[in-house]
């Protein structure tokens, strides 16, 4: 089944929106039967009627017809359509609810109101699922209910509700057993991955187990839903990068390897090849070179006998700007005859690079390609080694062997000293 909202439901939502807007200020459409009570819309026009009176009567008649049409389109109470209508009204946050939340925020009650709203959505969605799960003709309504249910569970779980996290996992497994290829199964399965990702991003710096859990969920999703190439590959790559950031290199390799194994012909596989090449660099002789911003050419091979730092950077990187004084101190401390820094710039605008170099006083040479198609993340050196974020620092010893990739900036001084002492 497609994840799109059906035409029938789109019509329903439009009617709901109309009803909501009419009830939120301004003039309301008169209830059915009001025209008869006033007599204005039932009295025929006469030859003596003025144009204004005639227009008013026609307007009243049209309004009554619209009201009858809206009433006819209104779903039966407790039907799946009615339940979904209630959910969308809750999610739309009517004006009176928004005002109440604003007032409650001052009293620190806003989180409570939001949780109550999410629990209401879960209850309504659960009822809608019970009424549609066995009816193929209501599959689209079922899908929408699953979307609302799982999304609300994720929000509550992120707020610290462990029970909702477990319920989301249980829902995902039940939907997978129901139909492993269905939209609902994929939706619920990916919501589990989404919850794991957001939790890892929030807490992974303090506890790498959250990052490992995200990695495992991303791989599990790819195994269960091999047809979801885009979602699965992006989740695996994202998990792999996060694993790298916290030092779980073997776990990162598993994520990247899963992309290559499951989607060998996809564009993602080519990207992963560069990342895998980078992960395997420590202990290997580095092959790196390219054209410079001044039109020359530079290669790591040209600096045997010196320690070499490779700096991947961009003028827009705030972190690089913060690190720059330390890099310049290292260069001054060791001298260019003992330490060479090679920049690999990932800007797209040559003017921005020139301006930054002039203002910062950077003297080391920069790999930067003349062709616009070879700039930014499309820089051939960056692509070859799977570099897509900056800054990144590498350290190469006097024999051209990679000592650290990445190199932590706060450990650079000690690492450089060790390399030079070993020479």
In the predicted structure, residue 146 carries a pLDDT above the cut 80:
yes
Determine which of 5-9, 145-149, 173-177, 333-337 has the lowest per-residue pLDDT on average. 5-9
In the predicted structure, residue 6 carries a pLDDT above the cut 50:
no
Q: Above pLDDT 90, what percent of the chain?
A: 72
In the chain, how long is the greatest CA-to-CA distance?
A: 110
Domain-located, residue 70: no
Residue pair 373/363 in contact (Cβ under 8 Å)? The answer is no
pLDDT of residue 37: 34
Please give the Cα distance from 59 to 274 (Å, whole number).
68
Q: Are residues 245 and 146 in the same domain?
A: yes
Q: Are residues 252 and 338 in the same domain?
A: no
Domain-located, residue 85: yes
Q: Are residues 210 and 310 in the same domain?
A: no
Q: Are residues 316 and 347 in the same domain?
A: yes
Residues 310-355: tens digit of each pLDDT: 999 999 999 999 999 999 999 999 999 999 999 999 999 999 999 9
Residue 392, classified by CB atoms within 10 Å of its CB into exposed (0-12), middle (13-18) or buried (19+), is: buried
Q: Are residues 258 and 297 in the same domain?
A: no
Please give the Cα distance from 239 to 395 (Å, whole number).
25
CATH of the domain at 408: 3.40.30.10
Please give the Cα distance from 192 to 219 (Å, whole number).
12
pLDDT of residue 63: 42
Residues 253-300: tens digit of each pLDDT: 999 999 999 999 988 888 899 999 999 999 999 999 999 998 999 999
Number of domains in the chain: 2
∠ Cα 321 247 206 (to 5°): 85
Domain-located, residue 2: no
pLDDT of residue 102: 61
Last residue of a domain, one of 248, 279, 310: 279
Q: Are residues 295 and 349 in the same domain?
A: yes
Last residue of a domain, one of 279, 304, 332: 279
Domain-located, residue 39: no
Containing domain of residue 105, as a range? Answer: 80-279
Q: Are residues 210 and 294 in the same domain?
A: no
Q: Are residues 294 and 245 in the same domain?
A: no
In the predicted structure, residue 356 carries a pLDDT above the cut 50:
yes
pLDDT of residue 298: 96
- Residue 77's pLDDT band, with cuts at 50, 70 and 90, is confident
CATH of the domain at 258: 1.25.40
- Mean pLDDT, the chain, integer: 84
Domain-located, residue 412: yes
Residue pair 345/353 in contact (Cβ under 8 Å)? The answer is yes
- Average pLDDT for residues 81-101, to the nearest whole number? 78
- Average pLDDT for residues 206-231, to the nearest whole number? 96
Q: Are residues 314 and 208 in the same domain?
A: no
In the predicted structure, residue 1 carries a pLDDT above the cut 60:
no
Last residue of a domain, one of 279, 314, 334: 279
Q: How would DSSP label each residue in 312-339?
A: EE-TT-HHHHHHHHHHHHHHHHH-TTTE
Q: Are residues 160 and 265 in the same domain?
A: yes
Domain-located, residue 129: yes
Domain-located, residue 36: no
Q: Are residues 194 and 294 in the same domain?
A: no
- Residue 75's pLDDT band, with cuts at 50, 70 and 90, is confident
Please give the Cα distance from 271 to 384 (Å, whole number).
8
pTM above 0.75, yes or no: no
pLDDT of residue 96: 57
Q: Are residues 107 and 255 in the same domain?
A: yes
Domain-located, residue 319: yes
pLDDT of residue 34: 37
Determine which of 5-9, 187-191, 363-367, 416-420 has the lowest per-residue pLDDT on average. 5-9
Q: How many CA atoms lie within 13 A of 184 on its CB side?
A: 25
């Amino acid at each position: 089944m497609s994840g799109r909202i059906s035409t029938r439901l789109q019509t329903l939502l439009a009617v709901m929106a109309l009803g909501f807007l009419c009830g939120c200020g301004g003039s309301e459409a008169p209830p059915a039967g009001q025209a008869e009570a006033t007599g204005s819309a039932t009295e025929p026009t006469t030859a003596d009627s003025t144009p204004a009176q005639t227009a008013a009567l026609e307007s009243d008649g049209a309004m009554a017809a619209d009201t009858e049409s809206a009433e006819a389109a209104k779903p039966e109470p407790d039907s799946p359509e009615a339940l979904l209508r209630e959910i969308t009204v809750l999610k739309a946050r009517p004006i009176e609810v928004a005002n109440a939340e604003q007032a409650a925020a001052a009293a620190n009650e806003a989180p409570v109101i939001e949780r109550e709203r999410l629990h209401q959505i879960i209850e309504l969605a659960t009822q809608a699922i019970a009424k549609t799960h066995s009816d193929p003709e209501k599959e689209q309504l079922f899908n929408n209910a699953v979307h609302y249910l799982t999304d609300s569970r994720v929000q509550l779980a992120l707020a610290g509700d462990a029970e909702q996290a477990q319920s989301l996992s249980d829902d995902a497994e039940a939907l997978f057993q129901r139909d492993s290829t269905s939209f609902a199964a994929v939706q619920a399965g990916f919501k589990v991955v989404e919850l794991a990702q957001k939790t890892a991003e929030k807490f992974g710096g303090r506890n790498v187990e959250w990052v490992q859990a995200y990695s495992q969920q991303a791989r599990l999703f790819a195994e269960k839903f091999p047809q979801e190439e885009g979602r699965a590959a992006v989740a695996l790559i994202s998990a792999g990068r996060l694993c790298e950031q916290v030092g779980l290199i073997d776990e990162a390799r598993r994520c990247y390897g899963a992309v290559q194994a499951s989607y060998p012909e996809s564009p993602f596989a080519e990207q992963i090849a560069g990342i895998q090449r980078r992960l395997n660099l420590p202990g290997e002789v580095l092959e790196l070179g390219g054209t410079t911003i001044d039109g020359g050419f530079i290669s790591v091979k040209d600096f045997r006998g010196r320690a070499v730092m490779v700096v991947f950077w961009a003028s827009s990187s705030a972190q690089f700007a913060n690190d720059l004084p330390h890099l310049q101190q290292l260069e001054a401390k060791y001298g260019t005859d003992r330490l060479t820094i090679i920049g690999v710039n990932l800007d797209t605008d040559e003017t921005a690079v020139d301006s930054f170099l002039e203002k910062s006083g950077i003297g080391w040479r920069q790999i930067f390609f003349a062709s616009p198609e070879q700039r930014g993340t499309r820089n051939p050196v960056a692509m070859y080694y799977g570099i897509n974020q900056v800054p990144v620092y590498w350290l190469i010893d006097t024999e051209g062997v990679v000592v650290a990739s990445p190199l932590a900036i706060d450990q650079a001084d000690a690492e450089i000293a060790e390399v030079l002492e070993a020479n």
